[in-house]
Amino acid sequence: MSFGSNLRMFANKASLCCNVNKVTLELFSRCSTVAFLQYDKDPGPSFSNPDVQKLLKSMTRVQLEKVYKKRSVSDNTVEYKFMTSEQLEKQFRKAAERAEKLIQMPPIVKVKEDSQKVISRDPALTNFSNTKFVIADITYGVNSSDRKILVRQTDGTLEYAPLSIRKRINQIYFPHPGRKIRLPRMFEPEHLNRCLANFQYEFILDRACVQFDPYEKEYHEITTKVYNHINESKRFDDLRSTRHFGPMAFYFAWHQIIDDLLYDMIKQDYLKNGAELVALYYQLNGIDYDKSIHEKLETLVQPQSTIQSVLKPKASDDMHEEIKNAIGKSAEDFTADDISFEFIETFVKTKALKKVQLELALQALRETNDEKKKLYHGLKKAHGIS
């Protein structure tokens, strides 16, 4: 059993630690009885599918102001510089690239089950010690998930450490910033419910990301609880333009409860996103649909580049631009909206659970859109552009 350079052993206060784990597990099993929807099969492949990733990223609607909102962290320094406009543009481009990283979605993978893998049984070592020994390879540069961590039980069995011990030992020798060895009390059901009642969604999810690994059961339970709460309180804007919006939309689409989110998107006039959500729903549930809609929307609506939204639009004498700015939509937008309308309407008619509500919202939006369209054409005529 040679583990390279640094080999460390330490006696483990086995009985005590096991008790703590049991208590937390019991707490979780109690909270999990309330509306906990599990992924029935491995969601990993569908989530990592490039098409799905594209849809989820587009739905997130990145706003740089929200991604770079003021954070109270200890190295909160500001640097002031004089720059030429080219340098400034370069900086903006860099900032947009960094924003892409900052809204990286936490991966969705299936829950990993503990499995006992025995290396050797040595009955000669029985009662050698009354505590078990944990042996960890702490060689520099090894990935936390690949690190070798073994347990010598009191009955002489040498086996791979279970996940809970692995996590603890990894945290002791290679701590994750922000992760606690003991579970924060916040994740206990009563305190979690209080946090939810205060709508601290982003905080809970951020902390869950740091505290748990994506394959842990607790992570799945907490995130689904938060998503369900958001679905009830309809505060989707809290997560929009954060890294958690994609996984939330994925969860809703997987479990076929997208109606409230779709209603919110229609109400806020994010029709393209609505169409994307419906497409995601079809894709995850294996329903055939006309995939050409993506291309159509792509050609009509320019992908809202994050850089463009920051750089101020240059003053142009183009009348089209001016009218577009006055109304907020261009001719392409109107045709794109029509396509999305049709796509969503077929979904509402066939698959939706809250048909009446969605139909009414669609109707209302269509009316306002028609008015805008009329205004648009009127303005065009007045300016003498065909």
Interface with another protein (CB under 8 A): 44-45, 48, 50, 53, 71-74, 76, 101-102, 104, 106-107, 109, 143, 145, 176-178, 180, 184-186, 191-192, 194-195, 200, 203-204, 206-207, 209-210, 214-215
DSSP symbol at 17: H
Which candidate, 140, 141, 149, places its Cα nearest to that of 169?
149
- Residue 271 φ/ψ, nearest 5 degrees: -65, -40
Asked whether 41 and 109 are in contact (CB, 8 A), the reply is no
Helix axes 331-350, 355-383, angle to 10 degrees: 160
Dist CA 54 CA 270 (whole Å)? 16
Output 45 or 303, the one with its CB closest to another protein.
45
Shortest reach from residue 228's CB to another protein, in Å: 18
Output 158 or 183, the one with its CB closest to another protein.
183
Output 199 or 334, the one with its CB closest to another protein.
199
Output 44 or 162, the one with its CB closest to another protein.
44
DSSP symbol at 155: T
Residue 160, classed as helix, strand or coil, is strand
Looking only at the bridges linking them, the beta strands covering 118-121 and 157-160 are antiparallel
Output 88 or 186, the one with its CB closest to another protein.
186
Shortest reach from residue 290's CB to another protein, in Å: 26
Output 53 or 154, the one with its CB closest to another protein.
53
- Which amino acid belongs to residue 96? A
Shortest reach from residue 350's CB to another protein, in Å: 31
Output 214 or 274, the one with its CB closest to another protein.
214
77 burial level (CB within 10 Å; 0-12, 13-18, 19+)? exposed
Shortest reach from residue 133's CB to another protein, in Å: 28
Shortest reach from residue 61's CB to another protein, in Å: 20
Shortest reach from residue 150's CB to another protein, in Å: 21
Torsion, Cα of 338, 341, 342, 345 (10° steps):
-160
Output 95 or 375, the one with its CB closest to another protein.
95
Dist CA 31 CA 331 (whole Å)? 51
Shortest reach from residue 204's CB to another protein, in Å: 8
Phi-psi map region of 178: left, alpha, beta (phi>0 left; psi -120 to 50 alpha): left
Which candidate, 234, 297, 233, 307, places its Cα nearest to that of 268?
234
Output 170 or 330, the one with its CB closest to another protein.
170
Output 31 or 323, the one with its CB closest to another protein.
31
**Long-range contacts for 267-270 (Cβ within 8 Å, ≥24 apart)?**
267/361, 267/365, 269/365, 270/61
Shortest reach from residue 244's CB to another protein, in Å: 12
For residue 294, what are the CA distances in angstroms to 49, 227, 277, 331, 338? 16, 27, 12, 18, 14
Shortest reach from residue 144's CB to another protein, in Å: 9
Shortest reach from residue 112's CB to another protein, in Å: 10
Cβ atoms within 10 Å, residue 262: 26
Asked whether 201 and 238 are in contact (CB, 8 A), the reply is yes
